Structure 1
């Protein structure tokens, strides 16, 4: 156990991390991207910074869980949010990549959410990542469901190629938006329905998907309605944002993520003051 922190096991290999001497009243749900891993170090970092609670868990890919992000129920995040709301004054969602996509979708429908921190986000809902219940990748389905119904999504263009080894998928996502331009409007995340604070963090050398372009689309949609929105970028950073004091993340899918450790850390340093502001930290 980290010094000064109290850690309580949570479902699906998760952990609730709390400072032993209380906190600032903010509870944070911290989830990973397409790795599905438990973000223990990030939760510990936030609790060490004096949020009241940081909760993280494996949200797919574990024992008894779906193998892929295939019509994943947005309502599945509600119990964690409700638990934080019960014990904290406010709730913030902090997601990266696919969980950032999910949290921007989720926040519009849960008044318990006060703010969203979206690292390497998307402005649209995408097709499934990984197989469905039958073990198959095709036909394509939405990554998400709401109220038992699939969320409108942008499919992949199966003729698009991801160059390099490991493969860089950013061109695949860019091509999908062109090929399926007629589906983009319906799949666009209704970020204007969430009135809380949104912080977007993206690297200009992201090889997974063009997160700066996506983040700017979210920013423009919200700023047109004067909704509180901040974008932090670094031109040389990649898909992974490394916050001050964090180790370099490992695991996940075999793919190019772009950036360098130094640039990814520089983006984390730029973003940290804004993250502290959103979390209401001193």
Structure 2
């Protein structure tokens, strides 16, 4: 399919990719803690007839260098741009910290019709990297809304990785599990109230996620959501933190982090989720229930 690709510089760096024939559906595509603009994923969506917008939401000009007190209004502004470009159906698709942002934005902005959370969390976490002041400590919320930090779970600084070779890639899942245990009294306030979102919700998670326990997180989100609306959870036991959608390249190996899964399992999870992702983006309704 022919597409038009527009580079953005204001109010944030990004790319908007639009089918040449136009589209009534706009998808805001959010990366995780890599901070990158999700060009390849946006191109895949545009090639299926959807307008895709991906923005740099931290680490760019005028933004905090880390994921620290990021205003959720950043994503509201991106929704404004999609609407002004002709989108009548608004969808959010995020992975990892981008999924955290997508879920929270869908709660605060009633214009969101659908949210797809890949490798999500069920709670708000403390900052990843420095804030505008250049400081990483003390821990602060990853997000704000109307100038107020959202309640969050901080990290247990006494945690150490189990890997004997500390110079190699590290699995951080234990850090998140340990932090929830240590700060159990803060978890309830930090839970993402996904049941308040008007949007329909699709969750995608791998059981072998080594970055954080996204499948248990997704199960918790699904349980909350079932109380008020439809939700679908797509999972695969051997997939890791980075599911790959059909048409995407395999995720590169990292010298810093273990993500779990492998290229085959991660692609298989993406392939299983893909018809549900496309269907939801195009306006199909979510039927509640797990799908593994």
TM-score, normalised to structure 1, is 0.94
State which of 207, 223, 234 in structure 2 corresponds to 1:220: 223
State which of 175, 184, 189 in structure 2 corresponds to 1:186: 189
1:112 corresponding residue in structure 2 = 111
Q: Cα distance, 1:251 vs. partner?
A: 8.1
User: Structure 2 stretches of 5 or more lacking a match?
Assistant: 285-292
Q: Cα distance, 1:22 vs. partner?
A: 2.3
2:274 corresponding residue in structure 1 = 272
2:103–2:194 contact (8 Å) kept in structure 1:
yes
Question: 1:43-71, CA deviations, whole angstroms, 9 ceiling, x for partnerless residues?
Answer: 000000111x1001211112442110011
Q: Cα distance, 1:224 vs. partner?
A: 2.1
Question: 1:159-218, CA deviations, whole angstroms, 9 ceiling, x for partnerless residues?
Answer: 112233311000110011111111011000111110221000001110000000000000
Secondary structure of residue in 1 paired with 2:68: coil
Show the 5 A alignment for 1:1-282. Answer: 4-11=2-9, 12-23=12-23, 25-51=24-50, 53-86=51-84, 87-164=86-163, 165-225=168-228, 227-250=229-252, 254-280=256-282
Distance 1:252 1:30 in 2: 22
121-130 vs 246-255, greater mean Cα deviation = 246-255
Aligned length: 277
1:142–1:152 contact (8 Å) kept in structure 2:
yes
1:167 to 1:237, Cα distance in 2 relative to 1, 3 A: same
1:186 to 1:134, Cα distance in 2 relative to 1, 3 A: same
1:154 to 1:253, Cα distance in 2 relative to 1, 3 A: farther
Distance 1:217 1:98 in 2: 17
Distance 1:135 1:69 in 2: 11
1:140 to 1:252, Cα distance in 2 relative to 1, 3 A: farther
2:106–2:198 contact (8 Å) kept in structure 1:
no
Q: Cα distance, 1:135 vs. partner?
A: 2.1
2:110–2:199 contact (8 Å) kept in structure 1:
no
Distance 1:272 1:253 in 2: 29
1:196–1:228 contact (8 Å) kept in structure 2:
no
Give me the CA root mean square deviation: 1.6
Distance 1:113 1:251 in 2: 33
Q: Cα distance, 1:235 vs. partner?
A: 0.7
Secondary structure of residue in 1 paired with 2:171: coil
TM-score, normalised to structure 2, is 0.91
